[in-house]
Amino acid sequence: MNIKHTLSEKVTEYLLNNEGKAKISSLEIIKDDVFISLLGNNTHGNQYIPDAINKGARYIITDRKLEDNFIFNKILVVDDILTFLLSTAKIKRNIFKGKVIGITGSVGKTTLKENLKYFISQTSTVSVSIKSYNNYLGVLISLININLSSSFAIFEIGTNNFEEIKNLTSIIMPSQAIITNILPTHLENFKNTRNIAIEKSDIFNPEYNPNIELLILSQNNTDETYISDLALKENISNIITFGKINNQNYRIEKIKKIDDKTFEVLIYNNTTTYKFEINKNQLSRINNILISLIIFVYNKLDITTFISSTKNVELVEGRGLERKIFINNKIINFIDETYNASPSTMRMCIDEFSNIKTMKNQKKILILGDMKELGEGALGFHLEILEYIITLDLNNVIVCGELMKSALNKLSKKDLKIELILNEKLIIKYLKNTLNNNDILLIKGSNSSLTNKIRKILLKKGEN
């Protein structure tokens, strides 16, 4: 008997049986993709349907009726796109038989996800959410795009307001959950770090995630130990902790310098010591490698493969990635930390800059932008950062942004080495006049701050 499938059934079946096909930007469409036509800030995605079709899109999904002159017979018009995506994502999650890892925390989610992808892919097949797809739409797209034959699927779960973690967790239902840390971020809505801790704890709450079997927790402050107490009350089968506070399951026993670029790391776990080498640029991100080790041990993956791979971990775009760029026909070593910024990551970045050793006649310049979404205490956090820079007696430090300006105005101007420049064109002019061949430039700030604009200008002018 020949059964005729509806277009909705065909689109759903296609998305379920294929990986990486759902795209929300027509710029990313390639042959046989499915273009999700969404309402944007200024325009509706329907405006880009002709472009998607010309690029070879197999299907289009939209929630807005098209003009009669559209004759493309593979355009699915639905009442609500998010409802359609949620339904498809839930079906795909239910039929996925691999292990699902969910990552939340205040900072470091994307970098950890990429590190885990790198390590696990050495031994198994793995699907991951792309970019920083950690909000509601991003999670739906990421689920729909997984490869059903993968042994692992890794998802970021982000939040900047209450009840978002439980909503995303109930869709992803990770059996293995990681909380990277609890630090002051998104304080405009959460007000304090204890509220952040409570929100993040929903990732392992059996009411929203009955699949939970493993929880990996950082234990470096009272909010993180509070989460550990909550987890114990929920009777999670396996809780593995790491951090500076005593009696953790995993701890960094020793870090020893081998040469200018390589360090040896010893990690202790109850009765076992793991020894491996890492590149210098991973020192500030050593916890990501530690968490990856925990995942390997728990899932009985090949530890020998893990240890042989630790020296080749790559940095992530906007999160410490180093590259050569041209400024005024001079080759500059650019360290890009412009994706985001919080008080803790800003301080780590300043430490990294302070520890950079320069050669004869080589200079280094640090540009810092505003840290966003810190709520009522934002000015105080920025003031602390500037005071920390002063204690290190750093040279060639430029700050930009209104919060940095307000914080700088509260400091004594006497012998102050920090320079304020509020315009990206003036900053570029300063760099052109100051930098020479082989100099070092490190830029750090929140994604929506002036530093991200500077990054885009510099990369547009020429990457080597």
Q: DSSP states of 258-284 as a string?
A: -SSSEEEEEEEETTEEEEEEEEGGGGG
Q: Where in the chain is the domain with CATH 3.40.1190.10?
A: 85-312
The share of the chain scoring above pLDDT 70, in percent, equals 97
141: phi then psi, degrees, rounded to nearest 5: -60, -45
Which SS3 state, helix, strand or coil, does residue 110 take?
helix
Question: Which residues are registered as beta bridge partners of 155?
Answer: 102
pLDDT digits (tens, 9 = 90+) for 230-247: 999 999 999 999 998 778
CATH code linked to domain 321-461 = 3.90.190.20
Instruction: Name the nearest CA neighbour of 418 among 455, 452, 389, 440.
Output: 389
Instruction: Label residue 68 by pLDDT band (50, 70, 90).
Output: low
Q: CA-to-CA distance for 143 and 158, rounded, in angstroms?
A: 15
Residue 265 and residue 278 in contact, taking contact as beta carbons nearer than 8 Å: yes
> Could you give the residue range(s) of every CATH 3.90.190.20 domain in the chain?
321-461
The per-residue pLDDT for 72 is 73
Helix 378-392, helix 343-355: angle, nearest 10: 10
Amino acid letter, 67 = E
12-16, 68-72, 242-246: which is most confident: 12-16
The yes-or-no verdict on residue 415 having pLDDT over 90 is: no
Residues 72 and 101: their CA atoms lie apart, in Å, by 39
CATH 3.40.1390.10 in the chain, residue ranges:
7-79
pLDDT digits (tens, 9 = 90+) for 203-222: 999 999 999 999 999 999 99
pLDDT given at position 37: 96
Model confidence pTM above 0.75: yes
Angle value at C-alpha 350, between 346 and 352, nearest 5 degrees:
115
Cβ atoms 274, 241 nearer than 8 A? no
Q: Which fold has domain 85-312?
A: UDP-N-acetylmuramoyl-L-alanine:D-glutamate ligase (3.40.1190)
Q: What are the tokens at 135? A: 């909000």
Q: How confident is the model at residue 2 (pLDDT cuts 50, 70, 90)?
A: very low
Whether residue 114 contacts residue 69, with contact meaning beta carbons closer than 8 Å, is answered with no
pLDDT score of 463: 45
Amino acid 273: pLDDT: 96
User: Strand ranges (DSSP E) for 147-279?
Assistant: 152-156, 176-179, 214-218, 238-242, 250-257, 262-269, 272-279
The mean pLDDT value for 275-304 works out to 96
Q: Taking Cα atoms as reference points, which of 222, 230, 458 lies closest to residue 334?
A: 458
- Superfamily of domain 7-79 in CATH is MurE/MurF, N-terminal domain (3.40.1390.10)
Specify the 3-state DSSP secondary structure of 325: strand
pLDDT at 204: 98
* In the predicted structure, residue 462 carries a pLDDT above the cut 60: no
- Name the token pair of 436: 């020479």
Neighbouring residues of 338: CB distance < 8 A, sequence distance ≥ 6: 318, 369, 443, 444, 445, 447, 451, 452, 454, 455
